[in-house]
Amino acid sequence: MNNLKSGTYKGRATGYHDYITVDVEVDGEKIVKINYSENETPNKGGVAVAKMVEEIIKQQSVEIDTVSGATYASEGTLRAVDYALGVARGERAPIDGEFNEKSGTIEHHFTSGTYSGNGDGYKGEINLNVTVSENKIEKIEYQGKETADIGGKAIEDIIATILRSQSTQVDSISGATFSSRGTQEALDYALGIARGEIDPEAAPKLEDLEPRIQFRGGSLTIEQIEAILNTLPVEITFVGPDLRFQYFNEDHHEFHRSKASLGSHFIDCHPPHLREFVGKLAGELAAGTRKSETHWFTRKDDGRKIFITYLPVTNRKGETIGFMEYVQNGTPFMNTIDEPNLRGQLSDPTEPNPFAREKWN
248 lies in the same domain as 348: yes
Q: Which distant-in-sequence residues (6+ apart) come within 8 Å of 356 by Cβ?
A: 233
Within a 10 A sphere around the Cβ of 348, how many other Cβ atoms? 7
Within a domain: residue 214?
Answer: no
pLDDT at 148: 67
What pLDDT score was predicted for residue 298?
Answer: 92
Same domain for 123 and 77: no
User: Residue 109 is which amino acid?
Assistant: H
For residue 162, report the phi and psi dihedrals to the nearest 5 degrees.
-60, -45
Domains identified in the chain, total number: 3
Residues of the chain with pLDDT under 50: 361
CB 131 within 8 A of CB 116: no
Domain shared by 54 and 113, yes or no: no
Contact, 144 vs 114, CB < 8 A?
no
Q: Is residue 206 part of a domain?
A: no
**Based on the domain organization, do 256 and 336 belong to the same domain?**
yes
CATH number assigned to the domain comprising residue 129: 3.90.1010.20
Q: What percent of the chain has pLDDT over 90?
A: 27
Strands (E), 168-258: 212-215, 218-221, 235-239, 245-248
Q: Could you tell me the CA-to-CA distances from 110 to 85, 87, 311 in Å, in that order? A: 20, 15, 50
* Residue 361: per-residue pLDDT: 45
* Owning domain of residue 293: 223-356
Angstrom distance (rounded) from CA 171 to CA 342: 45
Please indicate, yes or no, whether residues 130 and 185 belong to a single structural domain of this protein: yes
Give the C-alpha distances (Å, rounded to integers) separating 52 from 22, 95, 295: 12, 22, 40
Query: Do 283 and 328 fall into the same domain?
Result: yes
Flag whether 334 is in a domain. yes
What is the predicted pLDDT for the residue at 348? 76
Q: In terms of domains, do 246 and 276 share one?
A: yes
Give the residue from 40, 68, 88 where a domain finishes.
88
Contact residues for 22 (Cβ-Cβ < 8 A; gap 6+): 10, 11, 12, 34, 35, 36, 53, 77, 80, 81, 84
75 and 106 housed in the same domain: no
For 70-90, the DSSP string reads -HHHHHHHHHHHHHHHHHHTT
Contact present, 26 and 9 (Cβ < 8 Å)? yes
The answer on 153 and 60 residing in a single domain is no
Q: For residue 20, give the nearest of 43, 46, 1 by alpha carbon.
A: 46
In a domain, 339, yes or no: yes
CA-CA distance, 62 to 89, in Å (whole number)? Answer: 15
- Give residue-wise pLDDT tens across range 219-260: 788 888 999 999 998 999 999 988 899 999 987 778 877 777
What is the layout of strands, in order, in the sheet containing 125-132? 113-120, 125-132, 137-143
- On whether residue 2 sits in a domain, the answer given is no
Q: How far apart are CA 191 and CA 193, in angstroms?
A: 5
Q: What does pTM read for this prediction?
A: 0.47
Residues 48 and 127 in one domain: no
Tell whether 211 is covered by a domain. Answer: no
CATH at residue 270: 3.30.450.20
Domain boundary among 194, 215, 246: 194
Final residue before a domain boundary, out of 177, 194, 211: 194
Do 53 and 104 belong together in one domain? no
Q: Are residues 20 and 112 in the same domain?
A: no
- Residue 167: inside a domain, yes or no? yes
> CA-CA distances (angstroms) from residue 19 to 7, 73, 90, 159, 192?
23, 9, 23, 17, 17
